[in-house]
Structure 1
Amino acid sequence: MVESVAPHGLHHVTAIAEDPQRNVDFYTKVLGLRLVKRTVNFDAPDTYHLYYGDSSGQPSTLLTFFPWPGAPYGRQGVGLTTATAFSVPPESLGWWQKRLRALDVDADEPIARSDEEVLRLRDPDGLVIELVASEGDSRSGWDGVASIPFDSAIRGLFSVTMTERLLDPTADMLAGMLGMQHGQDTADGSRFVMSGGTEGTAVDVQPRNISRGLQAAGTVHHIAFRAPDSETQAKWRLELLEAGVQVTEIIDRRYFTSIYFREPGGVLLEIATDQPGFTVDEPLLELGQHLKLPPWLEPNREQIQASLPPLRVPPAPRPDEVDG
């Protein structure tokens, strides 16, 4: 176990969508996240890779999408990440409930779960999103959407939920190999917590005797944990290999470097570095405004752009709207 990095927190969650414009409209206009990068799936550059987060796209605030037009819809089940939770100010859940109802979003009534109050909703593809009332979250979020007041804005990721056939094999990897703390047990499962406090550090594992999930539109593709630097990432990779886990080489994702592996239940995990971040190829004020390609794909820009559907994105913010 690499103690200096294993408990660092969530970096991002990546999911699959069907319609890119519908995806942009929902996450920027309804949930009020900032589109911080418009690029492509580096492994399949005929589709977008869209990143949403806070004002500068800090790790622990990011939800990203591969939107594949015409993609079939998936099915929630074991072996998948089945919920992605965001932190919101405690007093804002009622405001969010009214907003979602007014916008005809598929959402449940808020419920008390353990010591948390949670509002569950589904995006236009059926992806499960939760808003968790969280005390003491110091992240500022993104307040560039006029219809969402700052004291209600989403702050960042809170947790992810993995649904598994069996608890113990996944628990052994999270707690034993990746160094997370085994936290609270409930009737639904167990929580594992990284040491970064309450801001994007929780992984809930829920054992279920249900069918295996089908990964497609409306489901999570993978979840990523934070490594503070490349050296620690490399050490973590070595530890995993020595433990017999199949791990990819370190892959350059332009805005971070990554390694990928699967936990015993089948969920794809990633370890991503905090740096260099999203301003490496685009000024802070212009994040998300232009299609950005990594240097190795730039020679194919004309062909790539021709394969992508047109996309209307929110206008660039004023300088006083960005605190990064």
Structure 2
Amino acid sequence: MDLNILWFILITVLFMGFFFLEGFDYGVGILLPFLGGNDTERRVIINTIGPVWDGNEVWLITAGGAAFAAFPNWYATLFSGFYLALFIILTGLIVRGVAFEFRSSDRNPVWRNLWDAMICAGSFISALLWGVALTNLLQGVPINDRMQYVGTFFDLLSPYTLAGGLTTLLVFTLHGALFISLKTEGELAQRAGSLAGKLGVLALPVFLLLILLTYVHTDLFGKSGAAAVLLGAAGCLALTWLLLRSGKNGWAFAVNGLTIVLFTVSIFWGLFPRVMVSSLRPEWSLTIYNASSSPYTLQVMTAVALVMVPVVLLYQGWTYWVFRRRVTVKDLHY
């Protein structure tokens, strides 16, 4: 198999895993100040992701490392052109991670409320900007013939990319609400399920708007497979809402996760064989060939991936199995 194609697929899979897992992490963080009526409930909510949130972020680190090693020109253009946007995302992730650790170091309500707000803000910013970044890759950004980004931060903001950001924000928040409803019990779980239903009503029309704008502003619909996957993601989102109305929250969580996966696949499918689209001239776009490392580098990376990826999957699967139970007040240590 063409190793350039193989590594494009592997990076796509890494982002699929990241958005599926970190999606409910972001959602839980966003909803923390709103679903948690008191400090005890907020502690329960935090503990639903406490054992796994930092492991979920490893998928992003691995995806970034894979892009750096397999497609260094893509990595260089992406991280220089999207520097401020990615810096804001990174700041949100750092603030969120620090808040998880610092929150419990003092029982003062003001202190804890401050860090709860930081968890919410960090999750909100990251969930929003990931959608902006993905849709920019597909829509195209100003890249010249030397693979250099020649725009500004504000060139990344448009009605289409903001619709993409709002879509990921709502879908991830819905994912988090469903996760809380499955990982807690009693009144808290019921409130989370009820809120998930309302979020589904908001997310579906925004997603449909994004599809319309994708048709207008990108060439994704010129690739029949990518368009079918994107429409399938919208269908899964609609099914998620129907399952919620039937009280099948577990199935709703799984199907909403499939929405995230299919949306990610559609973006990368729409890009292929490009990795970044130039809005200046199509021939200046970065592809899996003009942005790649040497064949030998790809061969070595493939050998390492065949050994390490199964280990990582088994370890993370084991982690989720160990912490599979619902979190209750009895599990809190005072």
TM-score, length basis structure 1: 0.31
Instruction: Answer with 1 or 2: which has the greater Rg.
Output: 2
Flag the structure with higher strand content. 1
Flag the structure with higher helix content. 2
